[in-house]
Structure formats: structure tokens, C-alpha cells
Amino acid sequence: MIGETEPSRIRRRNPRGQGERLREDILEAADALLDGTRDASRLSLRGVARRVGIAATSVYLHFPDVDHLKLALIEAGFAELDDARDAASEGIGDPAQALLARSRAYARWALDHPGRYRLMFGPDLPTALAFDAVESPSRRTFETLVRSIERCQEAGLCPMDNASRVAMLVWVSVHGLVLLRMDRPHFPWKPLDEMVDDIVRRVINLNAFTKPGARTSAT
């Protein structure tokens, strides 16, 4: 066992004018702590400082308090998650394939960054700071899902149900999938991509027009 309570030593003071670099180091260390093999436990200011190799008080040079640090992590997390989804669907013409690829990317990002994902969508942030407003990053993420579904509908690939309602169902389904996989690691899950595809197809009723019930045993 390596003494994990000790700092990562190597750090030395940033040169003059480069003080902002500590901010990046803090965010990076916090991400690493959240994503690491650690027991998905909660983030602490002192833990982050320890990992960066600075005094706990130095965090206050860049964040007024621990909640603002969390807020910065959440905002960066949404940016990363959105990027991952965009990258996954890049160059895919078929709207249904694009939606599935984006959904798989969402799920994979979540499972690769369990601590961050939990912070972004969990109850940890004090309600005073929790953004649920229309212009919040999570709402923007949701809106891209709505549009992705609308494109499928316009292409005639699935029924024209209210896209916003359907998006809610897709969102909660994939959310539940990734959370339970995190929290019940010993359950005999099927492969992630398979489950994501399966659930999204069913929820949006993909191919409902082309061959309903085609995969049943009643062939």
C-alpha cells in the first residue's frame, strides 16, 4: 500500500502570471478522483488538494467554496459529454443510426466517468446552486436528444409521438441503465451497447412501420 494520504509531492509553484494554471490542476485532480477506481465516494476539497499537492487553503484562490468547485466540474462534464455524443454521430447520415450511436456514447461516457456522471445528474449539489433552469447545461443536453428524435420521425423511421415526451422516456431509460450498472456490478448484465440499442429502439418504437413484431417467436 502506497501512502495515499501524502501529496503527489512533485508539484512546484507556478511562475509569475501563470497562477491560473493551478485552477486547471485542481479540476483535473478532482476529475481523476471522481473517475478513479475509488469507491464512487464523494469529493472533498481536502482530498483534491492532497492529490494536487497543495495546501487545502490554496483551493480558495480559485473557488469561493467547495460548491463552486463542484459546479465547475459539472459544467466541464456536460461539455465533455456533449462532445462525446457529437463525435459518435459524426458522419452518420441515417438519423436512427445517429441516435443510437449518440445514446451508446452517452452510456459509455457515463460508465467511464461514474463519479462525474453522478455529480452531474445526482442529488449532491445543494439545491440553491442546482441549475434546473431552462438554460442549464443539462437542458441543452436534453434538447439535442429531442432534436435527434425529431430527425428520426421526419425520416419516417418511427411514430410521430410528441418528441419531447419520447425524449424524456429515452433519457430516463438510459440513465437508469448506466446507474444500475454502476451500482449493481455483479448483476448478470448483457453487453452495454446491446442494451442501449435495444432499449432506445423499443422506447422510440423504431421500425414500427417497417416490420412490427418481426423479431418475435411467432414468426
Q: What is the dihedral of CA 84, 86, 91, 96, to 10 degrees?
A: 100
Q: CA 212, CA 87: separation in Å to the nearest integer?
A: 31
Instruction: Among 27, 29, 34, 45, indicate the residue that binds DNA (CB under 7 A).
Output: 45
Q: Which spans in 42-188 are helix H?
A: 45-52, 66-89, 95-112, 114-121, 137-154, 163-183
Q: Least distance from C-beta 140 to DNA, angstroms?
A: 28
Give the orientation angle of helix 20-35 with respect to helix 45-52, to 10 degrees: 110
Nearer to DNA, 15 or 188 (CB): 15
Nearer to its own copies, 46 or 202 (CB): 202
Residue 115 in contact with DNA, rule: CB under 7 A: no
Residue 37 in contact with its own copies, rule: CB under 8 A: no
Comparing CA positions, the residue from 136, 79, 135 lying closest to residue 109 is 79
Lookup: cell for 107: 452510456
Nearer to DNA, 65 or 198 (CB): 65
Site string for its own copies, 96-125 (x = CB under 8 A): -------------------------xxx--
62 neighbors 23 (Cβ within 8 angstroms): yes
Residue 60 in contact with DNA, rule: CB under 7 A: yes
Site for its own copies in 119-178 (CB under 8 A): 121-123, 126-127, 132-133, 138, 159-161, 165, 168-169, 171-177
Q: CA 171, CA 186: separation in Å to the nearest integer?
A: 24
Q: Least distance from C-beta 146 to its own copies, angstroms?
A: 12
Q: How many residues bind its own copies (CB under 8 A)?
A: 48
Site for DNA in 25-44 (CB under 7 A): 43-44
47 neighbors 33 (Cβ within 8 angstroms): yes
Instruction: Among 7, 35, 40, 60, indicate the residue that binds its own copies (CB under 8 A).
Output: 40
By the criterion CB under 7 A, which residues form the site for DNA? Answer: 5, 13-22, 43-47, 50, 53-58, 60-61, 65-67
